[in-house]
Chain A
């Protein structure tokens, strides 16, 4: 659980009680990652593992600079390197800091069946509350960005917390603090959108005509955003073009869930009438025992 107290919890997985409404002055926050300033030094990875007391296994080289090669339960952010040629002969080495996007409409939270295992705070941070996690992996299926990872050690799901413990006491996330080139900024969502648009404009001036802000509306916008050199092709850096929550999750939480609830209520009602009309179901254990003995 994080340092944020419950009045800040705006949404809670598998919970029907209404969220607290008393706090009206909590600003929404966002982290902005400027791809054009990132040199892939991985200082953010080290800051993340140090602040969060995580140490992944020392792996091996599998033929790329990415290490660990992907997000894991102990690596909540990793640098992804993409050698691309958007135009023939124009090599670019795009480097993207991968991790949780902290969606405004979080698929993980929607998918989670365990009450209070995933919460969304008033400031926009989506956080996993590990003691409530049952390790079912629905959050993995629910995430349009393939972020949560289930630990082999304790069978719980983990991902970036956006340093909710730091943010809760007025600090920036550890990765933001450590970034040597200023590629990662942190502030209110409004400020970050505005700065991201300014940076996109500057990149256009520099010749990246399709530079832009990645703040996908399919998930209601995100609290981790990117300034991309080629915002028209986010898939160049492994980002979905129009991310949305999996239809299966929508089905589960949207249509299927009321149906299931209706089904359950129906079953209760049916058994009540059955009881009234037919009376209690009588156990026939003695008969079974007799049969066993005979056998």
Chain B
């Protein structure tokens, strides 16, 4: 979230789309209810189903799965063609005025630079025009046809309400009403928030779904403001913490892009990641990248990371390809993996295409499962009849199960969607022989290190030289780890020389050995160590700030500055400089968040996301991480184009992309990665005519809570949902057992026949949806059920590789 849960109460309009906040985030949803009651905020729900969120919404519109960009692109067209945008904000805070390259273009489904064979783009024609001074050329009048604003206007002019309705199945009048409601927040005293979740991410165009909404929020002037922002509601209590701490391969802790094979040495690596301003006076905060990375290297390797060895750069792994979850299982499926350590993860249930996963796991020599529960993955080899019909005698994989503690059985922290890190103590001891994940990993590491020191190996240093500064080497405590993540001074950290008095003795900012007060103290000379720069400050000399429980809110704006610690720098709304106009006055005086007081930005409700002494007239942009200083409406970083474009899901009930009906190569995301064999496993609408989507229910949490009796009582057995019209066509009655098939597998479950799923009119044809909740399996105390991902396709988003769980094709019949 750019904002926070508690900030939702400041919204005038709440859009729930690409998610079902009431269902999946019932506790956080209280702030939506609060906004409705106290601010008279309106709630809009857009979803293929009339959801629990829709049940308490003021307005609802149905939408076909996988067509969010068409809907939101239509909103952009509405805003730009009617002029209902927050123009001053757009000029101040976005790249609307920036000139793009002349060669950039878009034609019939492809942006310029597409290579059909490689299924990827040469992006050299995308991006901004640079002047001789190295800065981007701009046109403040917004009239130059090459400026981002005009490019965008042209691109989205194709998204007419009629076409949007034909693609999405959303009735045109409902679409227009929602456009009008959203447009109302272009006023300076109206703010909208958007709450989304996996309903936007789990698509082959997932990242672009979110970007389209971000563009709308920028056009309406809603970013960086109380009650606004782009708010990703995270699922697991600590999934934000997982991404922050680099539990995936593309980044190191704190979202530092991890080295690839092309980064042959530290200098090359740092050069391509250290930001240089694209406009005058911009903070370009990424110019500090070497400080973050060097401090991380010191946290990894301590004294072994020296100036002479480039702070151990050579010991970092260099990516030679993709290592996302789909890529991992593809490798495993090809028989290229020996072993797999599966920690707090149930991939047989959580990764698409169970059949492929099962075959992949069977090719391993060993599988280690660390989990508090008996997961389906740990018993992938065992026959459970139709639910897991495998031949155990043909399985060679040796499986080890390490019971781990549950969250209440260990001390540590959760980082929630609001980026707030909250400390918790251990409540009870774990049962039986269960150990904390930390202890298991520490013991494993000790063994591995002993083996390396005994036997050597081709490159033992990355393991042998790792610093391990814990009191008990087998049991690093959560406090020790959080202190390490926060970082400390290894030598005195001194202030830069004062230009007025260069010979004065240097001022010591942090003494050697002290915990750092924040990332501003990080250095690239090896004098600081820090396990995650964005968390720096959470455990300073002042103690463990994540354990704070002060729920006072002096401004009444839901800031709660002394509750836990929000990264970065305890800032509760990021980009918050954008809550004020170019002179530093709040856009909406009734929601005054921060303001320029003549000498400083300090003293507001929140920690300013701006250099405190940067006077407004210096023109320092609010989006300090970008070298532009402003937010991007035109984003070169995206793999399928700088402007989001509608592409159909890989399994489409329409079979054609109505945005470019003549281009068969641009039906679905032309830059998405499809593995050999998976293309053939996509189903066609002729055999599988119904649009299907998977989702979660409020009574359950993924595949855990089916092990809990209380949850099992409230939602005991698997079901699928269809509308009354389809049920009638198929002769299916309430509670009948039905079989749902995709081209990859099938599930059998009870059928919920509902008024809440209506057939949609898509381009003159009727599209029915089949809804498939995911929570059942063959372990636990609920009724056993089929794993829903027997059905789902093995393809992901072109940028994040998040699997397309939310839009695929099935058929359904009564059993």
Q: Give residues in A with beta carbon < 8 Å to B.
A: 36-43, 45-46, 49-50, 55-65, 67-68, 75, 83, 85, 91-95, 180-183, 202, 205-207
Contact = CB atoms under 8 A, between A and B. Distances in A.
A148 to B, nearest CB: 20
B311 interface: no
B734 A64 contact: yes
Given A61-B735, A85-B755, A181-B26, A55 B55 contact: no
B30 A40 contact: no
A65 B752 contact: yes
Contact of B699 (A37, A42, A58): A42
B753 A67 contact: no
Contacts of A85: 755
Contacts of A58: 709, 712-713, 716, 781-783
A63 B33 contact: no
Q: Chain A contact residues: over half helix, strand or loop, or mixed?
A: loop
Given A58-B709, A93-B54, A42 B698 contact: yes
B751 interface: yes
A192 to B, nearest CB: 16
B30 A61 contact: no
A63 B26 contact: no
A39 B736 contact: no
B713 A49 contact: yes
Contacts of B781: 58
B716 A60 contact: yes
Nearest to B60: A91
B711 interface: yes
Given A39-B56, A42-B698, A94-B55, 6 more contacts: A37-B56, A49-B710, A55-B713, A58-B783, A59-B717, A181-B29
B50 A93 contact: yes
A63 B713 CA distance: 15
Contacts of B712: 58
B714 A42 contact: yes
A181 B783 contact: no
B129 interface: no
Contacts of B22: 39, 41, 181
Contact of B27 (A42, A83, A180): A180
Nearest to A85: B755
A61 B714 contact: no
B718 interface: yes
B196 to A, nearest CB: 17
Interface string B724-751: 0000000001111000000000000111
Nearest to B734: A63
B37 interface: yes
Nearest to B34: A182
Given A43-B26, A92-B55, A180-B27, A55 B698 contact: no
Contacts of A50: 710
B755 A63 contact: no
A93 B56 CA distance: 8
A56 B752 contact: no
Contacts of B461: none
The list of the 10 closest CB pairs from A to B, nearest first, reads: A63-B735, A63-B734, A39-B22, A93-B55, A61-B750, A61-B717, A41-B26, A83-B755, A180-B27, A41-B698
Given A39-B55, A39-B698, A67-B716, A46 B711 contact: yes
Contacts of B50: 91, 93
Contact of A61 (B52, B55, B60, B716): B716
Contacts of A49: 710, 713
B125 interface: no
Q: Residue among B33, B40, B749, B753 with the most chain A CB within 10 A?
A: B33
Nearest to A95: B55
B716 A181 contact: no
A67 B735 CA distance: 13
B30 A181 contact: yes
Nearest to B52: A39
Contacts of A39: 22-23, 26, 29, 52-53, 55-56, 698
A37 B715 CA distance: 21
A139 B653 CA distance: 55
A51 to B, nearest CB: 11
Given A39-B52, A181-B26, A61 B713 contact: no
B237 to A, nearest CB: 14
Contact of B714 (A63, A64, A67): A67
A202 B37 CA distance: 8
A46 B710 CA distance: 6
Nearest to B55: A93
B23 A60 contact: no
A206 to B, nearest CB: 7
Contacts of A62: 734-735, 750
12 contacts: A39-B55, A39-B56, A42-B714, A59-B713, A64-B734, A67-B713, A67-B714, A83-B754, A83-B756, A181-B22, A181-B26, A182-B34
A50 B755 CA distance: 33
B698 A40 contact: yes
Contact of A40 (B52, B717, B749, B756): B52
Contacts of B716: 58-61, 67
Contacts of B149: none
Interface string B3-32: 000000000000000000011001101100
Q: Residue among B710, B713, B719 with the most chain A CB within 10 A?
A: B713
Nearest to B712: A58
A94 B756 CA distance: 12
A182 B30 contact: yes
B140 interface: no
Given A40-B52, A46-B711, A206 B750 contact: no
Given A65-B752, A180-B30, A60 B783 contact: yes
B717 A63 contact: no
B714 A45 contact: yes
Interface string B687-704: 000000000001100000
Nearest to A56: B713
A202 B36 CA distance: 10
Contacts of B736: 63
B810 to A, nearest CB: 19
Contacts of A45: 713-714
Contacts of A42: 698-699, 714-715
Interface in B767-784: 781-783
A59 B58 CA distance: 34
A38 B29 CA distance: 11
Interface in B221-248: none
A75 B27 CA distance: 23
A93 B718 CA distance: 21
Q: Residue among A37, A59, A94, A181 with the most chain B CB within 10 A?
A: A181
B578 to A, nearest CB: 30
Given A42-B699, A58-B781, A182-B30, A68 B713 contact: yes
B798 to A, nearest CB: 34
